[in-house]
Structure 1
């Protein structure tokens, strides 16, 4: 009885270790890495000397990761097992916004916190959706949604706020197919968002 009790106790203490080792093994598995790209919009109009600060977007814990989110149903969140983003979704979107806005050539300086001059305008972003839904009919839908808010830096007055959202079907849940689906929807979203920001930040 004493031996049985001792083995049972050792088994309990061993469980967390086994879980940790399993997690480490999973983290060590190589994953295909995908990096979404900015867009290059030929924006007409004069160049402004103003500066724009793009803060890191906020997002829920499920989105704030470098894993590619898949929802099999409204209550469950999983991730593609063999694929990841090159950076966490908020950091990746921040970089894409900076590059897309700077590429227009309309703003004197576009950057992140800690770099460049004191900003005239600050761009806040809240990511509401950045994942894939599996539909009842077996189709997969890529969804991207975010809310952009522009502030005047000197008095923190809100200049304007708008929600942007795009979605579209992809044929399967292969990582490369899903990554291309994200790029397609992101291109469409940025095509609306970048001119909107320019009109209010210049």
Structure 2
């Protein structure tokens, strides 16, 4: 621990235009924390005794973080300086899927890996986009893209794969505006996406 702290301090001293104290103060600044919410799904049909395992989504390193991604141009990846997600984005989306699917009341058990009985089906998710783009006209656009795959656990047979994508314009790049923009996108995407999963998992 002593060695690690010493290396960090020496590295900070070498930063151009930045003293060690400045670097430490910046690292210690608290960030506003945000969490996106699941939705309640109303579906018709009897409750099944089947079980569904929702694995943690996969994503590129730029997305698989607790920071809120914003692109000022197509070749740059930056993050809001004063905001973060309550969990890493894959963990947060996994929790949203579990709670949304469970709210339908159609499956005996919905949970994450390491909990519950042996699953009948497994939900795999690949997050391809989850961020804000600054457009050429100065406007801002939120975008979410993910691909869902439902597997039958006993033989790993793919029961279906589908891609979901949606974008929406937002008024500015303030953290609260961006978070509300993402929540609006999810509110529009989740009923169809989770209904699609249920149709293959029940």
Same fold by TM-score greater than 0.5: yes
Cα 1:36–1:16, aligned 2, differ >3 Å: closer, same or farther? same
| Distance in 2 of aligned mates of 1:23 and 1:193 | 43
Of residues 4, 9, 17 in structure 1, which corresponds to 2:12? 17
- 1:35-184 → structure 2 map (5 Å cutoff): 35-184=35-184
| Distance in 2 of aligned mates of 1:135 and 1:164 | 22
Cα RMSD for the two superposed structures = 1.6
Count the aligned residue pairs: 190
| Distance in 2 of aligned mates of 1:147 and 1:130 | 12
- SS of the counterpart of 1:76? coil
**Aligned residue for 1:5?**
none
**Aligned residue for 2:4?**
none
**TM-score normalised according to structure 2 size:** 0.90
Runs of 4+ in 1 over 6 A off after TM superposition: none
Instruction: Structure 2: give runs of 5+ residues left out of the alignment.
Output: 1-8
Output one character per residue of 1:32-84: Cα deviation in whole Å (capped at 9) or x when no partner.
Answer: 11100000011111111000000000000000111000001110000001111
Q: CA deviation at 1:166?
A: 1.0
Instruction: Structure 1: give runs of 5+ residues left out of the alignment.
Output: 1-13
**TM-score normalised according to structure 1 size:** 0.90
Q: CA deviation at 1:31?
A: 1.2
Cα 1:165–1:24, aligned 2, differ >3 Å: closer, same or farther? farther
Q: CA deviation at 1:189?
A: 1.3
Which structure: larger Rg? 1
| Distance in 1 of aligned mates of 2:191 and 2:25 | 41
